[in-house]
Amino acid sequence: MVKISQIIHKTLLVVTACALTIMMLHLVLNAMMRFLLDSPLYGTNEIVAYWHMPLVVLLGIPLTQLQKEHINVTLVSGRMRRGSAIVFRIFGCTVSGLASIGFAWYGLGEALHRMEIGYTAGVTAIVTWPISFVVPLAFAILAILYVTELSMIFKTGEPQVDLVPAEKAKNNTEETMA
């Protein structure tokens, strides 16, 4: 299970870093062309808003879950007994996993509808329907991570499990950014 999580972690890091880098280069090129040639790149705002940003934001959600960099409120959970913490963690993972499955299912329906109608970015001819499939993909990955976390909780009996050990996550992040 941890091996699958590490593969997902590395893949999400690479894809998100590439999308962010391409977005930055696109925006810099657009600004340079606007300044130097008085002619910006066609559809830059639409491409950034409909292609780059959804990739960065939506793939960042499961990445955040994997690296345990989401907001944790430990006021109550930090004072719980181990057994109670496990029950609440199981409940939280189950509800979050079911919600993720629901979002993935709804997102898949929307993506198929957008594909069917040939969805574009506003009044431009820039095709944007393919990126709609990132929504069900991201939430399906998130659901898989919650199931993996549940199985690890049952396996180890610990309320806090790391699907990607912190040191491994740090090394992957540093390798990807280098």
The closest alpha carbon to 66, from 150, 165, 174, belongs to 165
- In the prediction, which pLDDT does 123 show? 80
pLDDT tens profile 116-158: 999 988 788 889 999 999 999 999 999 999 998 898 888 888 7
Q: 97 vs 79, which has greater pLDDT?
A: 97
Q: Name the band, by pLDDT with cuts 50, 70 and 90, for residue 115.
A: very high
13-22: Cβ within 8 A, 24+ apart: 13/63, 13/172, 13/173, 13/176, 14/176, 15/55, 15/59, 16/55, 16/56, 16/59, 16/60, 16/63, 17/176, 17/177, 19/52, 19/55, 19/56, 19/59, 20/52, 20/56, 22/52
Most confident of 16-20, 159-163, 172-176: 16-20
Task: State residue 175's pLDDT score.
Answer: 56
Rounded Cα distance, 178 and 173, in Å: 9
CA distances from 125 to 31, 47, 57, 118, 119 (A): 22, 11, 24, 10, 9
Q: How would residue 170 be classed by pLDDT, with cut points 50, 70 and 90? A: low
Give the residue with greater pLDDT, 131 vs 173.
131
> Are the CB atoms for 119 and 129 separated by under 8 Å?
yes
pLDDT for residue 78: 73
pTM over 0.85: no
pLDDT for the residue 98: 97
d(CA 77, CA 92): 12
Mean pLDDT of the chain: 86
Domain that holds residue 25: 2-177
Residue-wise pLDDT for 40-85, tens only, equals 888 888 889 999 999 999 999 998 888 887 776 677 767 778 888 8
Lowest mean pLDDT among 9-18, 54-63, 149-158, 162-171: 162-171
Residue 120 bridge partners (DSSP): 127
Number of domains in the chain: 1
